[in-house]
Amino acid sequence: MSILATKDTHVVIQGGVAGVNAARRMAEFRYMIKQPLNVSAFVYPPDAGKTNEIICGTELIMIPIYKTVAEATANHPEINTSLVYIGADRAYAGTMEALNDPHIKTVSMITEGVPEKDAKLLGKHARKLGKTFNGPSSIGVVSAGECRLGVIGGAFDNLVACKLYRPGSFGVITKSGGLSNEIIWICSQFADGITTAIGIGGDAYPGTDYVSYLEMFENDPQTKAVVIVGEMGGDLEERAAEWYGAKKRRIKLLAVVSGFCQESLPKGMKFGHAGAKEGLKGEGSARAKSEALKKSGAIVPDTFGALGPAIKATHEELLKSGQVKPIPDLAASDMPRLPKTVQESMKEGEVLVTPLIRSTISDDRGDEPLYQGYPASELINNGYDIPHVIGLLWDNRLVSKQEAEIIKRIIMLSADHGPCVSGALTTIIAACAGIGLSQAVAAGMIMIGPRFGGAVTDAGRWFKYAIDNKLSVDDFLVYMKKNVGPVPGIGHRVKSLKNPDKRVKELVGYVKSLNMATPHLDFALEVEKVTAVKKDNLILNVDGTMAAVLVDIGFPVDSLNGFFILSRTIGMIGHWTDQKRQGSRLIRLFDYLVNYASPKRREVPPLK
């Protein structure tokens, strides 16, 4: 048996993230005692109609979210308890809603910082309705082996360590959340553990006081003794003393009260919870409370530290008188265990998982990215440059200084080609239509293909094919004409032999000045000699030149378009920023730039 939170408790949680977290903790508890989750619903208007996902052992349970308490209880008539996790400014209305619902008998409020007046009104309203309003600022309620309301009891390991999987003989009532857990632990180590532990909250005027719960414990045969952890301020401890001393009680009462330090502190200095304050005339001091409790017959140790031995002595007395029987401890193998997550199991070497993807280039699990195992900062500090990073990430190798220089020149030469080319123009049109940077650049990027900038990979592929197969220029051209079509990397829209492409000249000149073998570039230049004779503009273009050079320095064919995409991104970002800076307006094509070749206006025939 237990009080307040029992095996018959069914819960609606009012609130958002904190409420979901509480539900997860409650699910852990239910898993420990091998019972189904007792949270039936959430009430949280912003997410009404959705569900919250609660892990319960190895299962994921979907708990519905409603707009109102009434909807929740109509759909889940078993609900009899509400936990309030609503912000202080809306907690009053939410709690009223729960108290006024006929299904709900108990409301426990975790919310802190609730105005005193609101708490008093809620307490009074609950008493009028014969219901229990626990809190505000309550850590929750836990009944060993039955039910947990809120996060009281802490992490799963602590629940097990405190033997909360089965009932003991001690009831606990505290104002402090942290100390409730401490007492639960002490009861499990110095005695046989708890029946129910209740946090009533540390506010000045909690909705329910010690006496209400002492009455309940008195009527719960499983509970043999109750531990109260009190504080200076208010008169709740005095009322408890009065109740205990009024007549012979079945339960034993143990109590400690904090706040003795107040006697030697500067006047008016106030510590601890909101409720922990002496009256203006010194009433409600720790000493007055302790005295009152002692007088009532309660066991009142002088310090918190002496509480453990006092609980132990009480338990031994109960054993001796036969009121409680020793409870054998569970064997270590029978202790409840939470299922492990995949991560935990892997860490402990218990499972093998087949990875979904494989990456051979980089690793960012540490404090900085590793490119092929080299920390980025060390590359920087050792004088490496962007082309080296490209080499590491595109070709899994550190390129030489000379190769890096070639890559750098390629990027610089192809970074931009003015506003008129397909890519830049598209980016500009998008920018003028108010499209964001990443989308506008992506729009320009889409233009890169067989006719614009996207011929690098294909050019590289076929030059490489020719060299690998030792084809002569003539054989190559025949092969291409028969099987492929125009040679990628040959030909230009405006440039020609007479009007050569300066970028090509520049790149070829530089590469030829180096002491390196350039079989692909040499072959491409030989091809140009033949094609340019046939037609003036069938020259080796910049795509073809880049491709031949990059294949010469060993880059894989599939990465080659990347050099154009990378370089041209610099230009496209420039065009987008340029239009933004100018505050450019929407572009619309002039009619005179369109040849309207469609039929003239005519009669629409009747629909047949």
Amino acid, single-letter form, for residue 526: E
Residue of 10, 76, 103, 273 marked catalytic: 273
Q: Which is nearer to another protein, 80 or 181 (CB)?
A: 181
Amino acid, single-letter form, for residue 199: G
Residue 258 binds to another protein (criterion: CB under 8 A):
yes
Give yes or no: 273 in active site.
yes
Q: Which is nearer to another protein, 284 or 453 (CB)?
A: 284
The sign of the dihedral angle between the CA atoms of 65, 66, 72, 76 is negative
Q: What is the DSSP string of 13-39?
A: EEESHHHHHHHHHHHHHHHHTT----E
Helices 401-414 and 542-552, axial angle in degrees (round to 10): 170
Neighbours of 24 (CB within 10 A): 17
Q: How far apart are CA 412 and CA 568, in angstroms?
A: 9
Residue 93 binds to another protein (criterion: CB under 8 A):
no
Q: Which is nearer to another protein, 278 or 403 (CB)?
A: 278
Q: Which is nearer to another protein, 263 or 350 (CB)?
A: 263
Residue 61 binds to another protein (criterion: CB under 8 A):
no
Cβ of residue 377: shortest distance to another protein, in angstroms? 23
Cβ of residue 232: shortest distance to another protein, in angstroms? 8
CB 409 within 8 A of CB 546: no
Q: How far apart are CA 522 and CA 476, in angstroms?
A: 14
Q: How far apart are CA 596 and CA 236, in angstroms?
A: 91
Q: Which is nearer to another protein, 185 or 452 (CB)?
A: 185
Token pair in block for residue 192: 């046989």
Cβ of residue 287: shortest distance to another protein, in angstroms? 11
Could you say which DSSP state residue 176 is in?
-
Q: Are strands 374-375 and 370-371 parallel, antiparallel or unpaired?
A: antiparallel
Task: Name the segment binding another protein (CB under 8 A); options: 77-85, 262-270, 357-365, 372-380.
Answer: 262-270
Of residues 101-120, those binding another protein (CB under 8 A): 112-117, 120
String marking each residue 232-251 x if it binds another protein according to CB under 8 A: x-xx----------------
Strands (E), 260-396: 362-363, 370-371, 374-375
Task: Name the segment binding another protein (CB under 8 A); options: 47-55, 123-131, 399-407, 414-422.
Answer: 123-131
Q: How far apart are CA 199 and CA 188, in angstroms?
A: 17
Q: Which is nearer to another protein, 274 or 550 (CB)?
A: 274
Residues binding another protein: what is the number (CB under 8 A)? 67
- The DSSP element (H or E) to which 380 belongs, if any, is helix 376-381
Q: Which is nearer to another protein, 122 or 443 (CB)?
A: 122
Cβ of residue 140: shortest distance to another protein, in angstroms? 8
Residue 88 binds to another protein (criterion: CB under 8 A):
yes
Cβ of residue 62: shortest distance to another protein, in angstroms? 24
Residue 33 binds to another protein (criterion: CB under 8 A):
no
First to last CA, the chain: 82
Could you say which of 69, 98, 191, 274 contacts another protein (CB under 8 A)?
274
Cβ of residue 304: shortest distance to another protein, in angstroms? 4
Q: Which is nearer to another protein, 236 or 490 (CB)?
A: 236
Residue 503 binds to another protein (criterion: CB under 8 A):
no
Could you say which DSSP state residue 42 is in?
E
CA dist 529 to 4, 242, 308, 538, 540, Å?
Answer: 95, 112, 98, 9, 9
Q: How far apart are CA 357 and CA 460, in angstroms?
A: 29
Q: How far apart are CA 508 and CA 540, in angstroms?
A: 10
Cβ of residue 25: shortest distance to another protein, in angstroms? 8
Cβ of residue 120: shortest distance to another protein, in angstroms? 4
Task: Name the segment binding another protein (CB under 8 A); options: 225-233, 374-382, 391-399, 519-527.
Answer: 225-233
Which residues are CB-neighbours of 44 under 8 A, at least 6 positions away?
14, 15, 16, 19, 65
Q: How far apart are CA 104 and CA 68, in angstroms?
A: 13
CB 133 within 8 A of CB 147: no
How many CA within 13 A on the CB side of residue 410?
Answer: 28
Beta bridge partners of 52: 63
- In the sheet that 370-371 helps form, which strands lie side by side, from edge to edge? 362-363, 370-371, 374-375
Cβ of residue 551: shortest distance to another protein, in angstroms? 53
Cβ of residue 312: shortest distance to another protein, in angstroms? 12
Task: Name the segment binding another protein (CB under 8 A); options: 39-47, 271-279, 312-320, 423-431.
Answer: 271-279
Residue 479 binds to another protein (criterion: CB under 8 A):
no
- The DSSP element (H or E) to which 181 belongs, if any, is helix 177-190
Q: Which is nearer to another protein, 348 or 603 (CB)?
A: 348
Could you say which of 74, 93, 265, 446 contacts another protein (CB under 8 A)?
265
Cβ of residue 51: shortest distance to another protein, in angstroms? 24
Phi, then psi, of 51 in degrees rounded to 5? -130, 155
CB 188 within 8 A of CB 139: no
Buried b (16+ CB within 10 A) or exposed e, 323-359: ebeeeeeeeeeeebebeeeeeeeeeeeeeeeeeeeee
The three-point CA angle 390-394-400 to 5° equals: 55
Could you say which of 1, 67, 260, 556 contacts another protein (CB under 8 A)?
260
Of residues 145-204, those binding another protein (CB under 8 A): 151-155, 158, 174-182, 185-186, 202, 204
Could you say which DSSP state residue 188 is in?
H
Q: Which is nearer to another protein, 78 or 263 (CB)?
A: 263
Residue 264 binds to another protein (criterion: CB under 8 A):
yes
Residue 333 binds to another protein (criterion: CB under 8 A):
no
Could you say which of 59, 89, 344, 378 contacts another protein (CB under 8 A)?
89
String marking each residue 289-328 x if it binds another protein according to CB under 8 A: -------------xxxx--x--------------------
Residue 423 binds to another protein (criterion: CB under 8 A):
no
Cβ of residue 266: shortest distance to another protein, in angstroms? 6
Q: Which is nearer to another protein, 306 or 351 (CB)?
A: 306
User: From the CA atom positions of the chain, what is the Rg in Å?
Assistant: 40
Q: Is the peptide bond before 326 cis (omega within 30 degrees of 0)?
A: no
Q: Which is nearer to another protein, 57 or 272 (CB)?
A: 272
Q: How far apart are CA 257 and CA 268, in angstroms?
A: 19
Catalytic residue IDs:
273
Provide the binding-site residues for another protein, judged by CB under 8 A.
21, 25, 88-89, 112-117, 120-121, 123-125, 139, 151-155, 158, 174-182, 185-186, 202, 204-205, 229, 231-232, 234-235, 256, 258-261, 263-274, 276-277, 280, 286, 302-305, 308
